[in-house]
């Protein structure tokens, strides 16, 4: 049915599950940051030592315009399957997406067939909406540049793809003053090193398909990250021979 609201999971519309579905509303939940504080000695107030955001949430209200209780349940079960998990997009957040899981599945009431139904989603990693399109920064070996970072959330992780113009045995990736140093590597001319994160935010480093995470030096940063909504964030790259590094990130949003 026609609605001003559009909700998609992995590119598939909620309304497309059945012609009887009418999306009524998209209701984002307030993000609730948690702070770890410590008391300031001999003073009132406290120091904020840490900021933690667990998740972003959004609810979607919809109706199923079916009088038959059996038909209504069948459509509801289609929506339950559609809602399980994936990349959620809504038309009130153009150009943004949420890695979502369903936290509350809709339940069809047999008696109140006109009553709105609700499906609730949460994004845990990242715990923010993020840009659909990556922001990229290209830096050649021995060079540096700066980039304005989109978003209004605290930070976002930075991945990278390094293409070797000649054989490499070391490289240093530096973002916002923090460096990831790889030493004792063996990358052939034309080889590609990928720095990224799995679905839990754990760092991986690969030479082609082979992990070289053990080549990250102990003094390196745990990961590469930048504050969102910040201008002129510095990016630099160095390597033992000619190479090009393409940094990639997605601005994150409350």
Please give the model's pTM, rounded to 2 decimal places. Answer: 0.89
DSSP per-residue string spanning 62-96: EEE---SHHHHHHHHHHHHHHTSEEEEEETTSTTE
Residue 128, exposed/middle/buried by CB under 10 A (0-12, 13-18, 19+)? buried
Instruction: List domains and CATH numbers for the chain.
Output: 7-130 (2.40.30.200), 133-253 (2.60.120.860)
Collect all residues with Cβ–Cβ distance below 8 Å to 217 and sequence separation of at least 6: 181, 182, 183
Over residues 145-182, the pLDDT tens digits come to 999 999 999 999 999 999 999 999 999 999 999 999 99
Q: What is the pLDDT of residue 1?
A: 62
């Amino acid at each position: 049915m026609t609605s001003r609201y559009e909700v998609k999971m992995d590119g598939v519309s909620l309304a497309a599950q059945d012609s009887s579905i009418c999306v009524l509303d998209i209701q984002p939940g307030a993000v609730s940051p948690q702070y770890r504080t410590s008391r300031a000695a001999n003073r009132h107030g406290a120091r904020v030592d840490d900021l933690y955001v667990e998740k972003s949430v959004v609810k979607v209200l919809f109706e199923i315009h079916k009088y038959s209780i059996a038909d209504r349940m069948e459509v509801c079960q289609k929506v339950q399957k559609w809602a399980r998990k994936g990349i959620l997009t809504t038309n009130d957040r153009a150009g943004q997406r949420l890695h979502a899981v369903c936290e509350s599945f809709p339940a069809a009431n047999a008696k109140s067939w006109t009553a709105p139904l609700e499906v609730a989603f949460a994004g845990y990693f990242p715990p923010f909406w993020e840009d659909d399109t990556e922001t990229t920064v290209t830096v050649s070996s021995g060079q540096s540049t700066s980039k304005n970072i989109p978003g209004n959330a605290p930070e976002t992780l930075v991945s990278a793809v390094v293409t070797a113009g000649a054989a490499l045995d070391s490289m240093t990736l530096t973002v916002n003053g923090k460096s990831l140093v790889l030493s004792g590597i063996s990358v052939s001319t034309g080889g590609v090193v990928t720095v990224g994160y799995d679905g839990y935010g754990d760092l991986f480093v690969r030479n082609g398909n082979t992990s070289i995470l053990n080549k990250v030096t102990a003094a390196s940063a745990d990961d590469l990250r930048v504050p969102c909504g910040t201008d002129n964030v510095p990016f630099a790259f160095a390597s033992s021979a000619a190479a090009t590094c393409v940094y990639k990130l997605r601005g994150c949003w409350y």
